[in-house]
Amino acid sequence: MALYSEKVMDHFRNPRNVGEIPDADGIGEVGNARCGDIMKIYLKIKDGIIEDVKFNTFGCGSAIASSSMATELIKGKPLSQALELTNKAVAEALDGLPAHKMHCSVLAEEAIRAAIKDYYDKNGIEYDKSLFPEPDEDHEIHED
């Protein structure tokens, strides 16, 4: 069996939504000190819907694929649905990631949450603080 699925390879070789949104409504940047991956997500939001999303990721193929897939999963969705996106959902949408690369999908989840929090903070929108826990320093996977 191949280490990476065809979907991971496709999103790594042909990442979707790469770039910046200069006038982004929300920006989230997270990193993993242990592996060196850095992920930045840009959101354009209108009426509570993610109209556009872009990313820049410095990292391994799994980090790039996770960023690409995560942007595809939230584009056009309400913020409430984007907040429900989990690292497991990103990994499943990629037809799986090796166990030692699951932290890449965690980065994608955390970057999206950070961008939405940034949007809420910039616009004075009240939110449930429990939806935005502090990211884990090492991005360990926590099972619910």
**104 is an active site residue:** yes
Q: Which of 43, 104, 115, 116 is catalytic?
A: 104
Regarding beta strands 38-46 and 49-58, do their DSSP bridges make them parallel or antiparallel, or are they unpaired?
A: antiparallel
- Our CA dihedral for 38, 115, 79, 76, rounded to 10 degrees, sits at -60
Q: Which of 30, 35, 83, 116 is catalytic?
A: 35
**CB-based contacts of 67, cutoff 8 Å, min separation 6:** 15, 39, 41, 55, 57, 107, 108, 111
Which active-site residues does the annotation give? 35, 104
